[in-house]
Amino acid sequence: MMFDSIYIPSLYVIKGIIILDNDGNRLLSKYYSNSYVTLKEQKDFEKSLFNKTHKGSGDVILLDNWTIVYRNNVDLLFYVMGSTNENELMLNSVLTCLFDSLSTMLRKNVEKRHLYDNLDLVMLTFDEICDDGIILETDPILITQRVRLDQDDIPLGDKTVFQVSNSEF
| pTM strictly above 0.85 | no
Identify whether 70 is part of a domain. Answer: yes
Buried b (16+ CB within 10 A) or exposed e, 72-99: bbeebbbbbbbbeebeeebbbbbbbbbb
Angle between helices 119-129 and 88-105 (to 10 degrees): 150
Residue pair 148/105 in contact (Cβ under 8 Å)? The answer is: yes
Angle between helices 88-105 and 140-152 (to 10 degrees): 40
Provide the CA 17 distance to its chain's centre, in angstroms. 4
For the chain, the residue count is 169
Provide the CA 21 distance to its chain's centre, in angstroms. 13
Identify whether 8 is part of a domain. Answer: no
Q: In the prediction, which pLDDT does 1 show?
A: 47
Q: In the prediction, which pLDDT does 10 show?
A: 76
Q: In the prediction, which pLDDT does 87 show?
A: 85
Identify whether 6 is part of a domain. Answer: no
Concatenating the DSSP letter of every residue in 28-69 gives: EEEE-SSS--SHHHHHHHHHHHHHHHTTSSEEEEEETTEEEE
pLDDT, block means (10 residues), the chain with 169 residues: 62 90 91 88 93 83 91 90 89 94 85 86 91 90 82 53 55
Q: In the prediction, which pLDDT does 33 show?
A: 85
Identify whether 99 is part of a domain. Answer: yes
Amino acid at 96: T
Identify whether 88 is part of a domain. Answer: yes
Residue pair 89/80 in contact (Cβ under 8 Å)? The answer is: no
Identify whether 165 is part of a domain. Answer: no
Q: In the prediction, which pLDDT does 157 show?
A: 55
Identify whether 160 is part of a domain. Answer: no
Instruction: Quote the mean pLDDT of the chain.
Output: 83
| Domain CATH code at residue 55 | 3.30.450.60
- Listed residue (110, 118, 99, 133) closest to 10, CA to CA: 133
How many domains does the chain divide into?
A: 1
Identify whether 78 is part of a domain. Answer: yes
End-to-end alpha carbon distance in the chain? 70
What is the residue range of 145's domain? 14-155
Q: In the prediction, which pLDDT does 55 show?
A: 83
* Tens-digit pLDDT profile for residues 66-85: 999 999 888 899 999 998 88
